[in-house]
Amino acid sequence: MKNLNLVALPHFVSVENLRNDEVEALIKRAEYFKKGGAVARLTSPVYVTNMFFEDSSRTHTSFEMAERKLGLTVIPFDPAHSSVNKGETLYDTSLVMNALGIDLEVIRHSQNEYYEDLINLKQHQKLNIGVINGLFVKSC
């Protein structure tokens, strides 16, 4: 694969936190994938869970389809049947996901900036999708 000025984003929670060169690198990488110039090759299993605390059929399905196309192992998460309903915090749920071996959490939540406490958990990555103070963050 040619040099795409790849950037490592430990947590992608807002485009406002990205530098111009990071945005440009993400766009170049997306264009390269779109043209079929790159194929994701995983050397070990990558486990992802989609933690949607808001109803969302199109976005949830789109992310799961993309994750499967990239070869990720999708671990189901249903907030209606989770310990959040018994008072467990999102922070605690994230800790449990880490202990279970989840590598990436895709989170959609109605609370603004819910991710502030979570990004300090260094164990695994988080991708925020949803409305944050009127800004809709989408995947590239």
pLDDT of residue 96: 86
What does the pLDDT read at residue 78? 92
Q: What is the pLDDT along the chain (140 residues), one digit of tens a residue?
A: 444 455 566 566 667 778 888 888 888 878 887 787 666 677 888 899 998 888 888 888 998 998 898 889 999 999 999 998 899 888 888 888 888 888 888 888 877 766 677 766 655 555 544 443 333 333 33
The pLDDT score that the predictor gives to residue 18 is: 80
For the chain, the domain total comes to 1
Residue 3 belongs to some domain of the structure: no
Is residue 13 included in any domain, yes or no? no
In a domain, 14, yes or no: no
Place of tokens 């895709």: 106
**Domain assignment of residue 66, yes or no:** yes
DSSP element (H, E) containing 12? strand 11-12
R_g over Cα of the chain:
15
DSSP-assigned letters across all residues of 33-102: HHTT------SS--EEEEEE-S--HHHHHHHHHHHHHTT-EEEP--GGGSGGGGT--HHHHHHHHHHHT-
DSSP 103: -
Separation of alpha carbons 118 and 95, rounded Å: 9
pLDDT at residue 7 in the model: 53
Q: Is residue 71 part of a domain?
A: yes
* 86 assigned to some structural domain: yes
Say what the pLDDT of residue 138 is. 37
CATH code at 51?
A: 3.40.50.1370
15 domain-assigned: no
Say if residues 79 and 52 touch (Cβ distance below 8 Å): yes
Tell me, yes or no, whether 58 lies in a domain: yes
Residue 133 belongs to domain spanning: 41-137
